[in-house]
Structure 1
Amino acid sequence: TNYLQKIFPLMMTAAGTITPSKVVIMGAGVAGLQALGTAKRLGAVVEVSDVRPAVKEEVMSLGGRFIEVEMDKSMQDERGYAKEASQEYLNKQKEVLFKHITAADIVITTALVPGRKAPILVTEEMVKHMRHGSVVLDMAVEFGGNCEISEAGKVVVKHGVTIIGEPNLPSLMAHQASDLYSKNLLAFIQHFSKEGNLNLNPDDEIVKSSLIVKDGELVNERVKNHWNTGV
């Protein structure tokens, strides 16, 4: 909100009414839902887009409006993460999102696909039509970015819009980030370590998805696919 020169909540005064800021969030994962909750607490009107229809209920439970895009098949994998979308779907999504993004005061992009480059969801053409003084926060910039014209490590102003490309947001809150990371890392190690002995059960979902090399052999399918194809 430091970059948005506008009051966030609805305000009714003797001098007139100030309408609430409008926030559009791309991606309803952990970061997107946290952004939704924060923006709502600050008094904004929040809309959220995600390729997984299953997250609509979570968005609505936090007071957000879900932007729906028709799709022919599920865009969610068996672990609950978003799959890589087809170009046809991305084109359809951009058409639907155009009117929402161009009417927004703040656009926050958090959309990632595990093991892939982040999809472009906010084009330069969209930015050109956004309100003068509005803000785009590209939280996926470290992985290629969801905004076509964001720049990693820079805050730039293009077409009258401030575009924030901070590649390592956790480092801005280093104390809490380190605390949470260490707790999660400890829980991860304790999951397969009992009294100092490692027990790597190959059928355990957590072990299966995180184990890369075993007995000198590459066993992780995602890493193996990247190694063989470079994708």
Structure 2
Amino acid sequence: MKVAIAAETRSGERRVALVPNLVSRLTGAGFEVAVEPGAGAAAHHSDDDYRAAGADVTPDAVSGAAALLGVQPPTEAQVDTLADHAVVISFLPPAQELGLVTTLRDANVSAFSMELVPRTSRAQSMDALSSQALVAGYRCAIVAAERLPRFFPLLMTAAGTVAPAKVLVLGAGVAGLQAIATARRLGAVVRAYDVRAAAAEEVRSVGAEFVELELPPLEGAGGYAREMTEDRAAKQLELLAPHVAEADALITTAAVPGRRAPLLVTREMVAAMRPGSVVVDLAAEQGGNVEGAVPGEEIAVGGVRVWGGANVPSQMPAQASQLYSTNVVNLLLHMASEGKLALDLDDDIVSGCCVTHDGKVHHAPTRELLS
């Protein structure tokens, strides 16, 4: 059975769905691995690396493949060349890709979305959202340190003492906690806030101070926060304002899956920060935690630089690809037996991330959108 890895075609995507050192896990399980030329180049993996690992590097990698592994969703042209009843595993946000979902359904392709892998202990090794959030959180802290025109750490010099930078992180999920830990390692004084009750202990566990706003927590499904009312949002903005104004660097990472990112910081709050301060908004592609943030661009609000994240994990393609590849391979092997796919939709992991199967839309929310 042939497993194909195509070169990513979407602008700015530098990751690859399978790195060479994981090819042996698939060939050892009885699969043939075919890779398009140049598929791993942006992640610093050459075609020779794949050949040495046991993969076939060929322009026809996708043609007739029984499984296609990708980072971004496949193109319709790729879907057309797959074998009958093929499987596709990639990031696939169904609500934003309804046309492609219809194509996958009509082509009788079983499509699995890495965004939909359940957040359970059984599926931890397949949780690509967490692995990529880890990369993004680290990158955000580095971006903030790079753009802030002052030192992060405390420095004792003959010319005097330089106080450490003050960093505020809003959102303490996987990305937020990694941003906190990285900023701390760089020597900054870090404070953080999250609407979830469990976040306070997590923030303190990585050495930061938790900002207490005396608001009731908002717990949602799967460890995420749930949406808040307009009154609660307005009160939160008011209480966060002085903490934002005090920060030298602000990093925002809050997201609610499938919905617009919550607005945590207004343009007026940014303008109240000291000149030279930096804002890094990881959620810019989901609408932004910071008013006015633009994905993939850096803008100025008064004397403050506001950096909007766009496909941030792809900015560190080597490590992001290694982690993502592990997630994808673990999911594929979870659905396989002796070199063949055995899709068990009674399994909560398989069913949970399945978008289309057997000529139907399996994912209920997407089915409702299409109807």
State whether TM-score is above 0.5: yes
Q: How does 1:1-231 map to 2 (within 5 A)?
A: 1-72=145-216, 74-77=218-221, 79-224=222-367, 226-227=369-370
Deviations 1:102-145 (A, max 9, x none): 11011111111000011111110101101100000111111111
Letter aligned with residue 168 of structure 2:
V
Q: Summarize the Cα distance change of 1:124–1:74 in structure 2 as closer, same or farther, 3 Å threshold.
A: closer
- 5+ residue gaps, structure 1: none
CA distance, structure 2, for counterparts of residue 92 and residue 220 of structure 1: 36
1:65-87 deviation digits (Å, cap 9, x = unpaired): 1123344464221x212222222
Is the CA contact 2:218–2:225 (under 8 Å) kept in the aligned structure 1?
Answer: no
Contact 1:10 1:18 in 2 (8 A): yes
Partner in structure 1 of residue 86 of structure 2: none
The verdict on how the C-alpha distance between 1:155 and 1:74 changes in structure 2, with shifts beyond 3 A counting, is: closer
Kindly name which structure, 1 or 2, has the bigger radius of gyration based on alpha carbons: 2
**One-letter code aligned to 1:175:** A
* SS of match in other structure, 1:116: coil
Question: How many percent of aligned residue pairs carry the same amino acid?
Answer: 48
Comparing both chains, which one has the higher relative contact order based on Cα–Cα distances under 8 Å and sequence gaps of 6 or more?
2
Shifted more, 117-126 versus 191-200: the winner is 191-200
Distance in 2 between the 1:64 and 1:106 partners? 14
User: Residue type of the partner of 2:181?
Assistant: G
Q: Is the 8 A contact 2:267 2:301 kept in 1?
A: no
- Please, which runs of 5 or more residues in structure 2 have no aligned partner? 1-144
Indicate conservation of the 8 Å contact 1:75/1:85, yes or no. Answer: no
Q: SS in structure 2 opposite 1:102?
A: helix
Name the stretch that deviates more: 82-91 or 24-33.
82-91
**In 2 relative to 1, CA 149–28 (structure 1 residues): closer, same or farther, beyond 3 Å?**
same
How much has 1:18 moved relative to structure 2?
A: 1.6
Q: How many residues align?
A: 227
Indicate the RMSD between aligned Cα atoms, in angstroms: 1.9
Q: 1:227 offset after TM fit, Å?
A: 4.3
Q: 1:227 to 1:95 in 2, by over 3 A?
A: farther
CA contact (8 A) 1:192 1:200 kept: yes
Q: Using the alignment, how far apart are the partners of 2:267 and 2:299 within structure 1?
A: 13
Partners in 2 of 1:54 and 1:164 — Cα distance? 28
- Please state how far the C-alpha of 1:26 moved relative to its aligned partner: 1.2
1:206 deviates by 2.2
- Distance in structure 1 (CA, Å) of the matches to 2:312 and 2:280: 11
* Cα contact 1:154–1:164 (8 A) shared by 2: yes
CA pair 31-73 structure 1, distance change in 2 beyond 3 A: closer
TM-score by length of 1: 0.90
Deviates more, 1:165-174 or 1:45-54: 165-174
Conserved? CA contact 1:151–1:165, under 8 Å = yes
Deviates more, 1:24-33 or 1:79-88: 79-88
Task: Give the 3 Å change call, closer, same or farther, for CA 3–215 of structure 1 in structure 2.
Answer: same
Q: Which amino acid counterpart does residue 305 of structure 2 have in structure 1? A: T
